[in-house]
Structure formats: C-alpha cells, structure tokens
C-alpha cells in the first residue's frame, strides 16, 4: 500500500492560534474561501490533533499557550509536518519582548516550513502548504522503508533495549 501517495492527496490540517492578533487566521480562512479554495488539494481543516497530518500555527507562543502547543503536537501521529504561519509564529513578531510572549514556536516544537509576512497572504500560505506536502510525502516514505538497525538489538534483563532501537529510528522522523 502506497501511504505516501494517499496522504499527500488528502492531508488533514490542524490550525492553532498560539496567541496572535487574528490577522493570519483571517488569511487562513480566506484560503478556504472559493477564491483560493485550498480544499482543491484534498485538505480538510480538522479539529482533532489525533487525525491531523499538518499543524498550522499562527501567533507567538505565550505563557498560557505553550503547554497546549506542545500537547497538541505530541498528540499528532507520525509522520507530521509543522508550518509556522506569519512573523509572530516564527519569531514572536510584534509581540516579541512582551511580558507574556515566549517567542517563536520553534523554541518548543520542531518547525518544517516557515511562511513569512504580517499577516501572511493566502498565496504564501498555499505555497507553504505545498512545501509541507512534499515534506509529508518524504517523511511518509521514510517511515514505510524497512529500518536497517545500526547495531544488534541488545537484551537487558530478558527485554529488548527499546531506547537504543528508538535512537536508530529517530533520524527518519526528523
Ligand atoms: S504575523 Fe501579523 S497578522 Fe499574523 S498574528 Fe502576528 S501580528 Fe497578527
């Protein structure tokens, strides 16, 4: 079964505003409108991290949103792609240095695609999503490949050392 092809044709997106001004969020909604029609790529804006392939984050990380962001990211199944949408999500933007601002999202979760702008234009968002699709396909293919372990699996107290095995697989997920 070629999961990479299926996933690329119907990726599910989770949109999360970590603390922005809603400017970027309005542009994301514009992408869903008939004019830009991002659903032509087979995308659905879902509300469930456990069913999402792409995390689209707007706004800077705040003290209150930090834990939610990491929790949502952890709940998404592998392979997953993160898009930082707008200057705030990438660096903190206009909120950088404020008492409640923790900065860009890449300080807390790994980011695959940065979309610049304040606010971002729908064309830029669509371009970022298309880049994310290529990365998602690559990550899916990597997961489908049989893993060649770098070392023989060791037994410790009659159990496989799963930590070492996980270290071998980790580069495939990044
Ligand atoms: S990048 Fe600009 S438009 Fe987007 S959330 Fe930040 S301040 Fe608002």
Could you give all domains of the chain from N- to C-terminal order, each with its CATH number? 3-145 (3.40.50.12280)
101 lines ligand 1 (CB under 6 A): no
User: What pTM was computed for the model?
Assistant: 0.83
Mean pLDDT of 107-132: 94
Atom of ligand 1 nearest to the CA of 94: 7
94 lines ligand 1 (CB under 6 A): yes
Tokens 């990550």 map to which residue? 139
Q: Quick one: pLDDT at residue 171?
A: 67
- For residue 84, give the H/E element and its range: strand 81-85
Give tens-digit pLDDT for 52-72: 999 999 999 999 999 999 999
């Amino acid at each position: 079964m070629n999961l990479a092809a299926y996933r690329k044709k119907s990726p599910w997106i989770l949109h999360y505003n970590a603390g922005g001004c809603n400017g970027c969020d309005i542009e994301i909604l514009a992408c869903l409108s008939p004019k830009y029609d991002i659903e032509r790529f087979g995308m659905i804006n879902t509300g469930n991290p456990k069913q999402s392939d792409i995390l689209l984050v707007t706004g800077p990380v705040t003290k209150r949103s930090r834990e939610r962001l990491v929790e949502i990211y952890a709940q998404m199944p592998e392979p997953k792609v993160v898009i930082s949408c707008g200057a705030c999500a990438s660096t903190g933007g206009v909120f950088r240095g404020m008492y409640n601002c923790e900065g860009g999202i890449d300080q807390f979760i790994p980011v695959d695609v940065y979309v610049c702008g304040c606010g971002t234009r729908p064309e830029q968002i669509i371009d970022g999503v298309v880049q994310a699709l290529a990365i998602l396909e690559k990550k899916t293919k990597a997961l489908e490949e049989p893993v060649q372990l770098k070392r023989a699996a060791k037994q410790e107290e009659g159990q496989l050392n799963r930590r070492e095995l996980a270290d071998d697989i980790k580069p495939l997920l990044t």
